[in-house]
Amino acid sequence: MSTPSVIKATLNRSAQALLDGDFAMWSRSVMLPFTFVSRSGSKQYEAWDDLRSDFDTFVGLLAEHGVTEIRRNVISIDHVSPTHLIARFSTELLSGSDDIIAPYTSTATLQFRNGAWKAMAIMGAVGAQNWSEFAQNENGKIIPFHAREPKHQRLG
């Protein structure tokens, strides 16, 4: 299997693990220490318990907003060394056929360890701490992305 196919499969497994709330499956795609960077800041995880807590919070947000599908598509892969790569990918969070938020791009740094590619760090414009604010009105009702007033600008 080619590297893009392997990374796509890894992204798909981690997305399904989020939808299923399966931390054991999700944790097989990351390694400690793990760093997550978003608009709201950066956080480094040294312990699985800390990562589990934030995983559970994110899974709860997905369920709260009715997310039924997470689509991830590989945009590019740059090999840094035989055991390290940088992958850019897009993410769509859907409830039925409606986008919960605008599709966004993330970058992951991965290391090949124990026979699999594992994320060491992910940087994304949207994180669990701030994406839900884009998904609802003042009454907490989910508004499909296409029916909302834009809160950001997409270029290109």
| 54-82 pLDDT per residue, tens | 888 889 888 888 899 999 999 999 999 99
Amino acid at 97: S
pLDDT category at 141 given cuts 50, 70, 90 is low
* Average per-residue pLDDT for the chain: 83
Domains observed in the chain: 3-147 (3.10.450.50)
Give the residue among 123, 143, 104, 151 at the shortest CA–CA distance from 37. 123
Alpha helices in the chain (DSSP H): 3-20, 23-27, 48-64
Residue 137: what pLDDT? 56
Residue 153: what pLDDT? 45
Residue 119: what pLDDT? 96
Calculate what percentage of the chain has a pLDDT beyond 70.
79
**CA-to-CA distance for 29 and 31, rounded, in angstroms?**
7
Yes or no: say if 40 and 32 are a contact pair by the CB < 8 Å rule.
no
Pairing of strands 104-113, 41-45: unpaired
Place of tokens 């947000």: 61
pLDDT category at 154 given cuts 50, 70, 90 is very low
40-52 average pLDDT score = 91
Residue 31: what pLDDT? 96
Distances (CA, A) of 48 to 3, 31, 143: 27, 9, 34
